[in-house]
Structure 1
Amino acid sequence: MLTQRHSLVSTTLGTSRELVSFHFGNAGNAHAGREKVYVQASLHADETPAMLTAWTLKQRLAALEAEGRMRGEVVLVPVANPIGLSQHVLGQFLGRFEANSGHNFNRNFPLPSAAALIERAGGRFSSADAAHNARVLRAALVELLGETTAKNEFESLRLTLLTLASAADVVLDLHCSLEATMHIYTSPASWPAIEPLARHLHANGVLLASDSGGQSFDEVHALLWNEVRGRLGDGIPLGAPNIAATIEHRGQRDVDYDTAAHDADAIVEYLIARGVIDGNAQDAPPLAQPATPLAGSQQLTAPVSGIVVYRAKVGARLKAGDAVFDIVDPLTDAVTTVTTSNDGVFYMRRAIRFVYAGAPMGRVTGETPIRSGVLIGA
C-alpha cells in the first residue's frame, strides 16, 4: 500500500488541510492492461456510513495486496472531504455544503471540455484499438487538470479528487442518505457494468439518468466520455464508457461494523469479478429490484406544516395510493395523509419529524418518467 498526502490550498493564515489517498496494486504488482478503480467516501462529510465502509475496504485491500492478489490498481480515498469534517456549528455537523461559499460539495464539478481533451490528445488516437484510445484520453485529462490552478481550499479539494479519479476505468463515489435503504445512482451506459455490484450490495433501488442536471462527481466523468464519443464519431473507437456510480449506503445512522463489512466485501467481490483482484468470483445474488429511471421517482413533499408520522418503512415496496406519512397539526387536530402515486420502493426519507409546508419528504421509485430538468436536490 502506497500512501499519498495531497496538500490543499490554505484559505486563511495558520490553517492547512490535506487529502490522503491509499494506492493498492501500483507498486510493481499490477499487471499491464488491467483496470484502475477509484473509490472515495463521504464527499458529503456527514455521511459517515460510507467512511466506515471505505475504512473496512482499506483493511481488505491491504490483506489482499499482502497475499499478492492485486492484478489491477485501486485508489482509495476514505475521507474525501476534510473541509466538511471540520464544519460544526453549535454542535451541529454541517458536511454537505461548504460554509464559505454555500456550494454543495457534490455539485457542479468542473472538468475540461471534450474539445480541449481531444485537442490535447492530438494525433495519438488509433482507428482500431479502443483500449489505447481510452488510455490516451485519460492521460490527456490528467495533464489538463495538472495545468489548472486552484484559487482556494474548496477548489483545490475538487481538483485533487478529479485528478485522482480521472485516470480510472471505474469510479465509485460512496455516500449515504438521511434515512434510506441501500440504493445506487448511475447512468444507463454504466448500468450493465454496475449491475453485478448492485447485486452483491443487495441494492433495493437503482436510479438511472444520463444527466441529472447536478454535475455530481460520478456523473461528470460519464458525461465527458459521452461528449467525447459524440465528437470523435465512429472512426475512433472508445469501447466501454467511463463506468461511474454513486453508492448510497443507507441512512446516516446506519453505522456499524457488520453493515460496513457486508458492503466492503461486496465491493471486493465486484473487483474480483472484474479481474482487478485475483480470485474465484462468487455468483452474484439476484437483483433485489429492477433499475428504474431517476426521472420516474416521485418526490414527496409536505403540503402543510406539522409533526411527521411515517406510515411506510424505508425500503418498503408500495402501491399507488398507499399512505406514506401523516402530518399532524397539534393546534387544529387536522391529520393530513400523503400517499404515493407510484408503484415502487420508498427508498429514502427525511430524518426530522417536524416539517414546514413544501419541505421535501422522501422519494419512491417509478418505472415511468414523470419529471424533467434537474432531477436531484441541492
Structure 2
Amino acid sequence: MRTDRKTLVSTTLGTSRELVSFHFGDAGDSSEKVYIQASLHADETPAMLTAWTLKQRLIELEAQRRVRGEIALVPVANPIGLSQHVLGQFLGRFEANSGHNFNRGFPMPTAAALIERVGARFSSGDDAYNAHLLRGALVELLGEMRAKNEFESLRLALLTLASRADIVLDLHCSLEATMHIYTSPASWPAIEPLARHLGANGVLLATDSGGQSFDEVHALLWNEVRALLGDRAPLGAPNIAATIEHRGQRDVDYDTASHDANAIVEYLIARGVIEGEPKDAPPLAQAATPLAGSQQLTAPVSGIVVYRAKVGARLKAGDPVFDIVDPLSDAVTTVTTNNDGVFYMRRAIRFVQAGAPMGRVTGETPIRTGVLIGA
C-alpha cells in the first residue's frame, strides 16, 4: 500500500488540511483502475466506516498478491466538512464559507478541450489507447487549473485522483434510507453485479440529473467526448461511475460495513481487478427505475411527522407514507404516494415546516424533468 498526502490550499493563517489517499496494486498494470472515495458529504459516516473496512481487506489482498489492477481509496474525502461543527451540530453537506454543496457543480474541463489536447494522436482502431490518451489529457488539464481557496483545492484534488480510473465509486449515505444506488443508464450494465452483491433495494438511473455531482461529471464527460469524436476514433465503454448510498446516517456498525466492503471486493473479483473465484451474485432486490420516475414527497403543512411506511417498504399508489399532526388544531394530514415503488429514503427530523422535502418513492414512469436531485 502506498499513501499519498495532498496539502490543500490554506484559507486561514495558521491552519492547513490534507487529503489522504491509499493506493493498492500496480499503476502500470493493464487491468482496470478503480477509484473509491467516501463521505464527500462529511456527515455521512456509514460510507467512511465501509471505506475503512475495505481498506483492511485490501491490505490483506495486496499482501496475498491478489490485486491485479490499481485501486485508489480515499476513506475521508472531505476533511473540510469534518471540521464544521456549529453549536454541537455536525454540518458536513455544505461548505460553511460559501454555502456550496460539497457534491454539486464539479468543474470538469470540456470535452472539446480534451479532444484538442489529444490532437492528432488518436488511433483509428484502438479504443483502449484512445481512452488512455484522453485520461492523460484530463490529468494535464486539471493540473493547469488553479484553486483559489481550500474548497476549490479539495474538489480539484479529488477530480485529479479519479481522472485515470475506469471505475469511479462515490460512497455516501442518506438521512434514513435503504441501500440504494444512483448511476447512469450507460453505467448500469457494469454496475448491476455490484447492486446485487450490496443488496440494493433501489437503483435510480439518470444520464444527467442536473447537479454535476462527482460521479456524474466523469460519465458525462465521456458521453460528450464520444459525441464529438463520432467515427473519428473509437472510445469503447463509457467510464463506469456510481454513487452508492449506504442506507442512513445512523446505520454505523461493523457488521453492515463488513457486508458492504465484502460486496465491493466481490464485485472487483468479478471484474478481474482482484484475483479470485467470483461468487454468484444474488438476485437483484429491485429492478432499476428512472430517477425522473421517483416521487418527491413534500409536507403540505407544518407539524409533527409520524411515518407510517418503513424505509425500504414496497408501496402501492395510494398507500399512506406519513402523517403530519397539528397539536393545536388536532388536524391530522395524511400524505400518500402516487407511485408503485420502494420508499427508499426519508428525512430524519420529526417536526417539519410546510413545503419541506420528506422522502422519495421509486417509480417506473418518468414524471419529472429538469434538475432531478435536491440540494
Tell me if both proteins adopt one fold, taking TM over 0.5 as the criterion.
yes
Structure 2 residue aligned with 1:260: 257
Unaligned runs of 5+ in 1: none
Task: Verify the 8 A CA contact 2:29 2:70 in the aligned structure 1.
Answer: no
Partner of residue 215 from structure 2, selected from 215, 218, 241: 218
Cα distance in 2 for partners of 1:31, 1:14 equals: 39
Q: TM-score, length-normalised on structure 2? A: 0.99
The answer to whether the 8 A contact 1:296-1:368 is kept is yes
Determine whether 1:17 maps to 2:14: no
**Is 1:356 the equivalent of 2:347?**
no
1:304 equivalent in alignment to 2:264:
no
1:31 Cα deviation after fit: 6.5
Equivalent of 2:173 in 166, 170, 176: 176
Shift of 1:32: 3.0
Aligned residue number for residue 48 of structure 2: 51
> Secondary structure in 1 aligned to 2:265?
helix
Cα offset, 1:33, TM superposition: 1.6
CA distance in 2, matches of 1:356, 1:182: 27
For 2:226, the equivalent position in structure 1 comes to 229
Superposition pairs for residues 1-378 of structure 1, below 5 Å? 1-26=1-26, 32-378=29-375
- The amino acid that maps onto 1:24 is F
Superposition deviation, residue 302 in structure 1: 0.3
Whether the 8 Å CA contact 1:179–1:351 is kept in 2: the answer is: yes
Q: Which amino acid aligns with 2:245?
A: E
Give the Cα separation in 1 of the matches to 2:67 and 2:334.
Answer: 53
Distance 1:195 1:235 in 2: 31
**What is the CA–CA distance in structure 1 between the aligned matches of 2:364 and 2:280, rounded to whole Å?**
27
Deviations 1:320-339 (A, max 9, x none): 00000000000000000000
Partners of 1:38 and 1:172 within 8 A in 2: yes
Looking at structure 2, the residues matched to 218 and 147 of structure 1 have their Cα atoms a distance apart, in angstroms, of 21
Could you say what secondary structure the match of 1:123 adopts?
helix
How many residue pairs match? The answer is: 375
Runs of 4+ in structure 1 off by over 4 angstroms are none
Cα RMSD (Å) of the superposition?
A: 0.6
Distance 1:156 1:310 in 2: 41
Write the deviation string for residues 20-66 of structure 1: whole angstroms up to 9, x where unpaired: 0000002xxx6732000000000000000000000000000000000
Amino acid at match of 1:22: F
Give the Cα separation in 2 of the matches to 1:32 and 1:87. 39
Distance, in Å, in 2 between the alignment partners of 1:61 and 1:327 is: 47
Q: Which runs of no fewer than 5 residues in structure 2 stay unpaired?
A: none
Corresponding letter in the other structure for 2:168 = V
Identity %: 86
> What CA deviation, in whole Å up to 9, does each residue of 1:230-266 have, x standing for no partner?
0000231111001000000000000000000000000
Is residue 167–residue 239 contact of structure 2 (8 Å, CA) maintained in 1? yes
Instruction: Please give the alpha-carbon distance, in whole angstroms, between the structure 2 residues aligned to 1:348 and 1:39.
Output: 23
Give the TM-score normalised by structure 1. Answer: 0.99
Q: Say if 1:31 and 1:71, in contact at 8 Å, map to a contact too.
A: no
